[in-house]
Structure 1
Amino acid sequence: MTKVNSALSYDKDAVGIGRKGTINKPFILNAPFWTVDTLFYVIPNKYISLYFLFILFQQIKWNKLDESTGVPSLSKENIKVVNIKLPSKSEMIKISKFIFLLDKKIELHQSKLEALKKIKSIYLRYLFPEKG
């Protein structure tokens, strides 16, 4: 891309995946978002849950579709060969809620871990002060 006259934006949340670089780390794009030529995105339809799609994209081995010799890269042709099976909408919602709760619990424990590491560091400085 060299020059654009206006932003190419979308008003629906989507799941994004890098076309170049970090191709194996899908992420949720909150609307509105602007895209560039190094991003693929998928906007779920009414039959698919956004978070379920995000979870599903995290399970795909995107690196196996890498077609580069240098910077990891994906193409539309390689993405088209990915076949996925979808459960019913209600099942997607149940799976999404379950995984979401697990993710929140992991996040909480990671925060606690970081706090405990800080406390440990403070105690170590107190118990083993530098000379003087």
Structure 2
Amino acid sequence: MPGDLGDPAPEPFLGRLERLCHAGTLTELWEAHVEAMAAYGFDRLIYASTRLRLPDEMLGDADDAIILSNHPTAYLREFMRAELYTSAPMVRWAATHVGARSWRQVIEAWERGELDPAARRVWELNRRF
């Protein structure tokens, strides 16, 4: 299909974009996004945003955050209550960079023993779920 760019998803890109733009609720928007990302192989997602992030802080106040996820409740409970998000390798990277980073880089750091103890705790949580 022209303009599809070899899109792996069953629904062409413009169709997904239209669906996102016409979502009537946050729930509809999130569900459409989760479905679209699943077509690319991303079966678990977390989105978090806060209104205020101070310059000397990596992340904003978790009590002020909106968090959307399709992870199991038990995973999110441990991830958030233990503040594991502050040690998650991809969260650390995303807080200070733009663009994409491959999970392969995190896996390779794990295999080389380069993850610090806090990041290893997140790794183990992810493996359990």
Higher relative contact order (CA 8 A, sep 6+): 1
Compare CA radii of gyration and give the structure with the larger one.
1
Higher strand fraction (1 or 2) = 1
Q: TM-score, normalised by structure 2?
A: 0.29
Higher helix fraction (1 or 2) = 2
Q: TM-score, normalised by structure 1?
A: 0.29
